[in-house]
Structure 1
């Protein structure tokens, strides 16, 4: 290191590394700037398609909600039938006890 030729080679490698680093930073800055300018175009890629072009295939969440609603309605109707049968059974037992 004490030789006069070595610091120049070290300076040159540092200079080369600095150029590469600044090139990378400039590239990152330019890409970031381009993405900010074209944000609308990029966001269009990641957003859902408009509702006018909706899929003919039903949505899984909607079909799941419909199945759950159907199950609730069936359980309600079964409970109503059971309550009516219990009520009729009580009325029959009341009639039997009166007779």
Structure 2
């Protein structure tokens, strides 16, 4: 009878392990399904979620300019100056060419007379 008692105890132990395994598996499956659902929701509503986690601009940040932003503004200003100087140079060169062509045409007319 002592041997039968040990056997009954092992069967109940096996059954409890089996039940625990089933419960854990169910929990894992539930976690996977919820994660998949959240992933699909996040893909569809990405902008809403990013708006939630975005930090609002602080009033102190505007008083102190960012070094990178100021560097970008300096570069932009330099590019605009170079572009405008290039345009001015092209305009003056065209004007000089026109003046030279007019000067040549006048001198040709004078020499022909």
Normalising to structure 2: TM-score of the pair?
A: 0.50
1:60 offset after TM fit, Å?
1.6
Structure 1 segments of 4+ aligned residues over 3 angstroms from their partners: 15-19, 51-58
SS class of match (2:57): helix
1:82 offset after TM fit, Å?
1.0
1:13 offset after TM fit, Å?
1.8
Q: Partners of 1:97 and 1:77 in 2: how far apart?
A: 30
Match of 1:44 in 2: 57
Larger Rg: 2
SS class of match (1:43): coil
Higher helix share: 2
Match of 1:9 in 2: 20
1:59 offset after TM fit, Å?
2.7
Aligned length: 82
Normalising to structure 1: TM-score of the pair?
A: 0.55
Match of 2:92 in 1: 77
Q: Which runs of 5+ in 2 are unaligned?
A: 1-10, 39-48
Q: What RMSD, in angstroms, separates the aligned Cα atoms of the two structures?
A: 4.0
1:11 offset after TM fit, Å?
2.4
Q: Partners of 2:110 and 2:66 in 1: how far apart?
A: 61
